[in-house]
Amino acid sequence: MNERVSLTDLRQGVRPVDHPPARSGRIGVLLLNLGTPEGTGYWPMRRYLKEFLSDRRVIETPRLLWWPILNLIILTKRPGPKGRDYASIWNNERDEGPLKTITRGQAEKVAEHLKAVAGDRVTVDWAMRYGKPEVRERIQALLDQGCDRILLVPLYPQYAAATSATACDQAFRALMDMRWQPTVRVSPPYHDDPVYIASLVASMKRELAKLPFEPEVILTSFHGVPKEYLLKGDPYHCQCVKTWRLMREAFGWPADKFRMSFQSRFGTAEWLQPYTDKTVQALAESGVKRMAIVAPGFSADCLETLEELNGENREIFMHHGGEEFAYLPCLNDSEDGMQVINHIVERELQGWL
């Protein structure tokens, strides 16, 4: 027979001795980013690429056509070259990709901020959609710490099915296996949030002031997606254009000096245009000698910014007649970057704190 519990005990939250463990009413915040391989060698790179490129949100090609291409060609040929690309930007001190280092720093600084705002009621964690730490594992860790309410924060300013949606999918898969699910909120995209735009512009102006030259053109480069996704109703393209327009207006520059483009395409299908590499080449060939490039769609520097933009596109510009090239870093866990993330988290926790 269960130990008797008085009405007073019930009001004070006292449970019978044989009552199963119950969560204690804490709040969790989980930052979600894309992911990074666990190493730069062939097999870690292959595992990462397989998980990433097997996602139906990322590659919508019918499986009957895609699986032979992925398993017989891409996963055989791409791990080596991609591993060398990652090795060029690898954080050797921590033995991890910079995206993991920066996302951890963002989570730690959000935790510091929320402790000052809400005391010890909130636990902040972080996870990667592909690779580690896994979303399921970190949600369970929050539950184990007593969090019965969790705010998911996809760190993508512009919404896309292949980024924000797939990160949430992974969280929802974990919830499907739980008898007692936590209450969950998802922070919305913040492509036109005034704090985000102001922080981008402030960060860019500081970085531009450090340069020994004045750029003739600033190119804002967003990660590309197949044009087909736009035609199916994905809002990503429109949100990127709005971010670019608001940034340009804040700078007060004309469209021919403050341009936008889309990077990182692969395959033979048409992707969102204009393409970054083609735009950089055309600028150099048109006589532009000095340019800067920035990637406002990335919340943290990663392969696509450090190697592709600051490496490959720098070479393209110089090879075709350019003379001065600068890559302006992402917001990362800088003061400007944390102002954005803290603002979003605090806003979306309203009513819980």
What share of the chain in percent tops pLDDT 90? 90
How confident is the model at residue 266, as a pLDDT?
A: 86
What share of the chain in percent tops pLDDT 70? 94
DSSP characters over 322-343: --EEEEEPP-TTSHHHHHHHHH
Q: How far is CA 196 from the centre of its chain?
A: 14
Tokens 């979003």 — which residue? 344
Using alpha carbons, select from 236, 346, 256 the residue that is nearest to residue 297: 236
Say whether pLDDT at 1 is over 50: no
Binding residues for Fe(2+), as ranges, are: 223, 304
Q: What is the pLDDT of residues 98-131, one digit of tens each?
A: 999 999 999 999 999 999 988 899 999 999 999 9
Q: What is the pLDDT of residues 209-239, one digit of tens each?
A: 999 999 999 999 999 999 999 999 999 999 9
How confident is the model at residue 9, as a pLDDT?
A: 54
The per-residue pLDDT of the chain, averaged, comes to 94
How confident is the model at residue 17, as a pLDDT?
A: 74
Domain boundaries, the chain: 26-189+336-348, 194-328
How confident is the model at residue 195, as a pLDDT?
A: 98
3-state secondary structure (DSSP) of residue 194: helix
> Is the separation of the CB atoms in 152 and 142 below 8 Å?
no
Binding residues, as ranges, are: 223, 304
Determine the Cα–Cα distance for residues 246 and 253; give it in Å rounded to an integer: 11
Torsion angle of C-alpha atoms 50, 53, 54, 56, degrees rounded to 10: 170
Tokens matching residue 57: 């949100």
- In the chain, where do the E strands start and end? 26-36, 122-131, 147-154, 183-186, 217-223, 258-263, 290-294, 324-328
Same fold for the pair 26-189+336-348 and 194-328 = yes
Q: Per DSSP, what are the bridge partners of residue 96?
A: 91
**Mean pLDDT, range 58-83, rounded to an integer:** 94
Neighbouring C-beta atoms of residue 161, cutoff 10 Å: 19
**Mean pLDDT, range 152-172, rounded to an integer:** 97
The fold for domain 26-189+336-348 equals Rossmann fold (3.40.50)
Q: What is the pLDDT of residues 263-319, one digit of tens each?
A: 999 888 999 999 999 999 999 999 999 999 999 999 999 999 999 999 999 999 999
3-state secondary structure (DSSP) of residue 271: strand
Neighbouring C-beta atoms of residue 10, cutoff 10 Å: 10
Q: How far is CA 134 from the centre of its chain?
A: 15
Determine the Cα–Cα distance for residues 280 and 311; give it in Å rounded to an integer: 12
Q: Per DSSP, what are the bridge partners of residue 35?
A: 130
Helix (H) or strand (E) holding 347: helix 335-348
Q: Which CATH code, of 3.30.70.20, 3.40.50.1400, 1.10.1240.10, 3.90.1150.10, is assigned to 194-328?
A: 3.40.50.1400
> Is the separation of the CB atoms in 296 and 258 below 8 Å?
no
Neighbouring residues of 233: CB distance < 8 A, sequence distance ≥ 6: none
